[in-house]
Amino acid sequence: MDGEKTREPPASVQVYFSFVEPVVGADGRCIRSLQSFRHDMTPDAGSVLVLFEDSKVFGVLSWKERFSDRQVCLAQIKQQTGSLVIAQCSQDGRYAVLGDAGGRLCLIEFRDFSRAGSATNLKAQQLVGKRLELKACSRSGVISRDNPLERVRVAHTLASSGMDCAYTSLRWWMCSIQDQQKQFILAGKQDGSLNVRGCKLLYRKKM
C-alpha cells in the first residue's frame, strides 16, 4: 500500500569499543599509520607498529587478554634526521623497515622484543646492532619504568641515493628461488622512482 513503507530488518552489524586513551609520551600528535606485525593477531594477543605525524618517534602497541592488558612503547632511531613517514613489517614479524622524510631506510630487528610485555633476561645473549633511543612506555595508560624496546636493534641503515625525497610505499616480498627463500623490499619514492632491494635476514637460534 502507498501509505505503508516496507520495513527491512536491521543489518546484523555489531561494533565493540574496547578502549580509548591517549598515547603517553606522543605529545598529542596524530597517528599517521598502524602496521601489523603478524597476520594471525587476535583480541587476546597482537602487536602493531605505530607512526606519528611529523615525528621521529615510533611506537609499538601490544595487547593481550581481550585488550584488557595493553602496552605502548616508544623509541627513536639515534641520529634520526627526518620524520618517519612509512613502515612495513616482514611476514613473520621479526623485522620492520622504516622510511623517513629524507629518503633513508632503516631495517629494525624485533626478534628479541617481548610483545607480551613480560620481563626478559638481558644477559641471555649478546644483541647485535645499534640501540634505540628509548622514550616513554605505558601499560593501560600508566607510565612503566621498563621499556621492552631496549631489546630492539637497528640491523642496517640505507641512505638515499640521488635527490633526497621520501618513500611513499613499501612492500615486503618473499619468494622461493631454486629451493631457497629470498626476501625483497619494494620501495616507491615521491619522485616516481621504484627501488627493489634484496634483503638477507639471518635468523639466530633461540638460547
Quickly list DSSP for 144-203.
Answer: -S--GGGG-EEEEEEPPPSS---EEEEEEEEEEETTEEEEEEEEEETTS-EEEEEE----
For residue 130, how many other CB atoms are within 10 A of its CB? Answer: 16
pLDDT score of 143 more than 60: yes
Could you tell me the residue ranges of all domains in the chain? 31-166
pLDDT of 100 strictly over 70? yes
pLDDT surpasses 80 at 129: no
What pLDDT shows up at residue 157?
86
Burial of 163 (0-12, 13-18, 19+ CB in 10 A): exposed
pLDDT 10s digits, 27-58: 888 999 999 887 778 888 889 999 999 999 99
pLDDT at residue number 204 = 45
Q: 117 pLDDT exceeds 50?
A: no
Does pLDDT of 96 surpass 90? yes
pLDDT at site 173: 83
Give the number of other CB atoms < 10 A from CB of residue 52. Answer: 21
Q: Average pLDDT in the 74-100 region?
A: 90
Mean pLDDT of 139-149: 90
Cβ within 8 Å of residue 204, ≥6 positions away? 111, 125
Query: For residues 184 and 134, which has the higher predicted lDDT (pLDDT)?
Result: 134
Tell me how far apart the alpha carbons of residues 98 and 157 are, in angstroms, rounded to a whole number: 10
pLDDT confidence of residue 103: 86
Residue bearing the bigger pLDDT, 192 or 13: 192
What value does the CA radius of gyration of the chain take, rounded to a whole number of Å?
20
Q: Which residue has the cell 587476546?
A: 44
The tens digit of pLDDT for each residue in 80-89 reads 888 999 999 9
pLDDT at 194 over 80: yes
Strand pairing of 180-189 and 142-143? unpaired
Q: What is the pLDDT of residues 152-179, one digit of tens each?
A: 999 888 776 556 788 889 988 877 777 7
* Mode of pairing for the β-strands spanning 84-89 and 95-100: antiparallel
